[in-house]
Amino acid sequence: MINVCNIVKSFGENDVLKGVSFKVEKGQAISIIGSSGSGKSTILRSIVGLENVDGGSIYIDDEPLVENGIYVDDKTFRSRSLKMGMVFQHFNLFPHLTVRENLCLAPKCVLKRGKDVLNQRCEKLLEKVGLIDKIDAMPSSLSGGQKQRVAIARALMMEPEILLFDEPTSALDPELTGEVLSVMKELAAENMTMIIVTHEMSFAREVSDRVIFMDKGVVLVDDVPEKVLVNPENERIKSFLNKL
Amino acid sequence: MLEFLLNTIIAMSKGVGYTVSLFVITIIFSMPLGLLCTFMSNGKNPVLRAITRAYVFVMRGTPLMLQLFFFYFGITKIPFIGQFLVMERFTAACVTFVLNYAAYFCEIFRGGLLSVDKGQYEASKVLGLTKWQTTVRIVLPQMFKVVLPSVSNEAITLVKDTALITAIGIMDLMHITKSLVNGSAGSIEPFIVAAVFYLMVTFGLTKLFNYLEKKFMF
Ligand SMILES: Nc1ncnc2c1ncn2[C@@H]1O[C@H](COP(=O)(O)OP(=O)(O)OP(=O)(O)O)[C@@H](O)[C@H]1O
Ligand SMILES: [Mg+2]
C-alpha cells in the first residue's frame, strides 16, 4: 500500500534521512520509534508532501508520488496523496471554525460532497470519537484530548485509506492520552492502515503489526513488536528503551 | 442663540459630505490595496517584493501633508507628463489618502499574516485544500482577528487625518469650521460643533470595532 524506497533528505548540511526504506501493507499499523532528531517526523512529512525529499521513491498503491527523487506533477500528487490523512502533534484545528465546520470544510471544498452527506458523516464520526455533544463548539473550548479526537475525526472525513500520526499524544497531559489512544486502537481494530510515530511503548506494542526503530536517519530495525520492544537484541534499542 | 447654533450646524453639514466621502473611499480602497501589497511583499517575485517594500517605506516615511501637496500641485509640474496628471482637488485627496493608508494597512496585514501558525497551512495542505482555499478560508479569517485592533486604530486616525485636505482648499468640515470662526467675530461654537462631530464618528467606529472584535473572538 505504501512503499518508501531509499529516501534521502537533508536540511542544508544536516543529513536527516539517509536512505530510508519500508513498506506498509493494507490494514497494517506500523509504529515508528526512535530518539529525538532521528528523522521520524521528517519521514511522515515527506510521505504526505510537507517536505520534499532529495532522492528515493515513494509509492502509494504502486503509483509513484516521487520516483528516484523526481516528483509527479502537482495535480497528480494532490490527487494521489488524498488517500492519506495526517494527525499532528499540535492538532492544528482551525480555531475560527466550529467542530462541525472543521470536519466539513475540506470534504466540501475538495471532494465536493453534498451537505446532507457531510452532516451525516460528521455526526457519525463525532459519535465514534465520543464528541457528538461538541459538534457546535469552538476548538478553543475543548481540552487537548478532545481537540486531538476532533483532529482524528477531521482526517477521517476525507475518507483516507491511510492515516499518519505524528506523536498524537505528546502534547497532552498524561491523563488525557488514554482517550486518544483508545480511538486509535479502535481504528487499528477496524484495520485502518496507519503509520504512528509515538513514544507510547505499551500502545505501540499492543496495536502495531511492526515497529520501526529509527536512529540518525536510518531504519535500524524493522520487526514485530516482540522483537523490537520486548526482547531487543540491538544495543541502541536497549539503551533507548531504558532511558524512557 | 439656538438659531445661531442651528445655522452653524447647517453651514457645516455641507463640509461633512467631503469629510465622510473621503473617509469611506479611503477605507474601501486602501484595505484591498493594502492586502494586495501584503501578498506581493511576501510573494516569490523579487521585483514586486522590492517595489512594494519601497512603496511602503516612502508612504510611511513622509508626511501625509507632503504627499497631499505632491499629488495636487507637485505632480502637475513633472516635465511632459505632468499636464496629464492634473486632478480635481478632491480626486487628488482621495488618491493620496488611499495610497497612504494602503501602505499602513500593508504593514498591519503583513504582521497579521506572520502570526498565523504554520500548522494551519500544513493541516490545510494535507486535507487537500488549494492555496486559494487555504488563504480565503483559513488564513484570512485568522489574520483579520489579529489585525482588528490595529485596523481600528487606523480608522480612527483616518477620521482625524481627513481634516488635512483643508490645506489644498477643499471645503471640508474643517475648512468651513475655520471660516465660520473667522467670520462671525470670534465665536467658538463652530469649533465645538466640529469637535462633537469628529467625536461622534470616532465613538461610532469604536463601537463598531468592539462589536467586530467580539464577533471574531474564537
Ligand atoms: N524545517 C527544517 N529545517 C531545518 N532542519 C530541520 C527541519 N525540520 C527538521 N529538521 C532537523 O531534522 C532533524 C530530524 O528532525 P525530525 O523532526 O524528523 O526528528 P524527530 O525524530 O521527529 O524528532 P522528535 O522526536 O523530537 O520529534 C533534526 O535534526 C531537526 O533539527
Ligand atoms: Mg517529530
Q: Domain extents for chain A?
A: 93-159
CA distance B27 to B29: 6
Q: Hey, what's the cell of B83?
A: 499636464
Alpha carbon A244 to chain centroid, angstroms: 22
For residue B144, the tally of other CB atoms under 10 A from its CB is: 15
Domain carrying residue B102: 2-217
Q: Whose CA is nearest to atom 30 of ligand 1?
A: A37
Which of A95, A140, A158 lies at the smallest CB-CB distance from B127?
A: A158
Whether residues A109 and B137 touch (CB distance < 8 A) is answered with yes
pLDDT in tens, B149-166: 999 999 999 999 999 999
Is the predicted pLDDT of residue B180 greater than 90, yes or no?
no
Counting Cβ atoms within 10 Å, is residue A203 exposed (0-12), middle (13-18) or buried (19+)? buried
Our CA dihedral for B187, B190, B195, B201, rounded to 10 degrees, sits at 170
Closest CA to B62 of B100, B23, B26: B100
Within B157-207, strands assigned E span: none
pLDDT in tens, B122-142: 999 999 999 999 999 999 999
Residues in chain B: 218
Closest CA to A60 of A44, A47, A45: A47
Is the predicted pLDDT of residue B118 greater than 90, yes or no?
yes
Is the predicted pLDDT of residue A128 greater than 90, yes or no?
yes
If one counts the domains in chain B, the total is 1
Rounded percentage of chain B residues whose pLDDT exceeds 90: 70
Which of A106, A110, A138 lies at the smallest CB-CB distance from B218?
A: A138
B56 neighbors B128 (Cβ within 8 angstroms): no
Q: Kindly identify which residue of chain A lies nearest to residue B125, measuring between CA atoms.
A: A50
Is the predicted pLDDT of residue B184 greater than 80, yes or no?
no
A120 neighbors A144 (Cβ within 8 angstroms): no
**β pairing state of A14-24 and A2-11:** antiparallel
Which of B122, B133, B216 lies at the smallest CB-CB distance from A109?
A: B133
Q: Which pLDDT belongs to residue A177? A: 94
Q: Kindly identify which residue of chain A lies nearest to residue B121, measuring between CA atoms.
A: A92
| Centroid of ligand 2 to alpha carbon of A36 (angstroms) | 7
Tell me the CA distances in angstroms from A215 to A20, A39, A132, one per residue in order.
11, 8, 41
pLDDT in tens, B9-50: 888 888 889 999 999 999 999 999 999 999 999 999 999 999
| Encoded amino acid at A105, one letter | L
Tell me if chain B has a CB within 8 Å of the CB of A94: yes
Q: Which pLDDT belongs to residue B185? A: 59
Q: List the single range of A83-92, A120-129, B18-27, B77-86 with lowest mean pLDDT.
A: B77-86
Q: What's the whole-number mean pLDDT along residues A212-221?
A: 94
**β pairing state of A55-60 and A29-34:** unpaired
Q: What's the whole-number mean pLDDT along residues B81-87?
A: 86
For residue B109, the tally of other CB atoms under 10 A from its CB is: 26
Q: Which residues surround ligand 2, an ion (CB under 5 A)?
A: A 41
Nearest-atom index, ligand 1, CA of A34: 21
- Mean pLDDT, chain B, integer: 92
B176: helix, strand or coil: helix
Closest CA to B104 of B163, B43, B36, B34: B34
Within chain A, strands assigned E span: 2-11, 14-24, 29-34, 55-60, 63-67, 70-71, 84-87, 162-166, 193-197, 210-215, 218-223
Position B6 confidence tier, pLDDT thresholds 50, 70, 90: confident
Q: Which pLDDT belongs to residue B96? A: 97
Position B186 confidence tier, pLDDT thresholds 50, 70, 90: low
Q: Which pLDDT belongs to residue A147? A: 97
Q: Kindly identify which residue of chain B lies nearest to residue A104, measuring between CA atoms.
A: B127
Q: What's the whole-number mean pLDDT along residues A71-98?
A: 95
Is the predicted pLDDT of residue A154 greater than 90, yes or no?
yes
Q: What's the whole-number mean pLDDT along residues A213-221?
A: 94
Q: Hey, what's the cell of B191?
A: 469649533
pLDDT in tens, A155-207: 999 999 999 999 999 999 999 999 999 999 999 999 999 999 999 999 999 99
Is the predicted pLDDT of residue A124 greater than 80, yes or no?
yes
For residue B62, the tally of other CB atoms under 10 A from its CB is: 12
Distance from CA of B16 to the nearest CA of A (A): 38
DSSP letter for A119, please: H
- Mean pLDDT, chain A, integer: 95
The single residue listed with the C-alpha cell 532521528 is A38
Q: What's the whole-number mean pLDDT along residues A135-147?
A: 96
| Centroid of ligand 1 to alpha carbon of A110 (angstroms) | 30
Q: Hey, what's the cell of B11?
A: 453651514
CA distance B212 to B187: 40
* pTM, full prediction: 0.90
Position B100 confidence tier, pLDDT thresholds 50, 70, 90: very high
Domain with residue B131: its CATH number is 1.10.3720.10
Counting Cβ atoms within 10 Å, is residue B51 exposed (0-12), middle (13-18) or buried (19+)? middle
Closest CA to A156 of A177, A116, A129: A129
Closest CA to A47 of A106, A16, A2: A2
